[in-house]
Amino acid sequence: MSKRAVSSGKWSRETGASGGISRNAFILAAVVLFAALTAFAAASKPTLKSIGEGLICQCGCAQTVYGCNHFECASRAEMNALIEKEIAAGKDETTILQDFVKQYGVQVLASPPAKGFTLAVWILPGLGLIVGLAVLIAFVRHWRKPNVKPDHSPAAPLDPKLLEAVDDAMKRIAG
Q: What is the pLDDT of residues 1-53, one digit of tens each?
A: 444 444 444 544 444 444 556 777 778 777 777 777 766 655 567 888 888 98
Cβ burial, residue 66 (10 Å; 0-12/13-18/19+): buried
Q: What is the mean pLDDT of the chain?
A: 80
Greater confidence (175 vs 108) lies with 108
> In whole angstroms, how large is the CA radius of gyration of the chain?
40
Res 112 pLDDT > 90: no
Coil/strand/helix, residue 56:
strand
Q: What percent of the chain has pLDDT over 70?
A: 81
In the prediction, which pLDDT does 6 show? Answer: 47
Sign of CA dihedral 96, 98, 99, 101: positive
pLDDT at 5 (0 to 100): 46
Between CA 32 and CA 55 the distance in angstroms is 34
- Phi and psi for 109 in degrees, rounded to 5? -75, 135
- Answer whether 46's CB lies under 8 Å from 98's CB: no
CB atoms inside a 10 Å sphere around CB 109: 16
Contacts of 59 by beta carbon, 8 Å cutoff, 6+ apart: 68, 70, 73, 74, 75, 76
Question: How far, in whole angstroms, is CA 106 from its chain's centroid?
Answer: 23
pLDDT score, position 20: 53
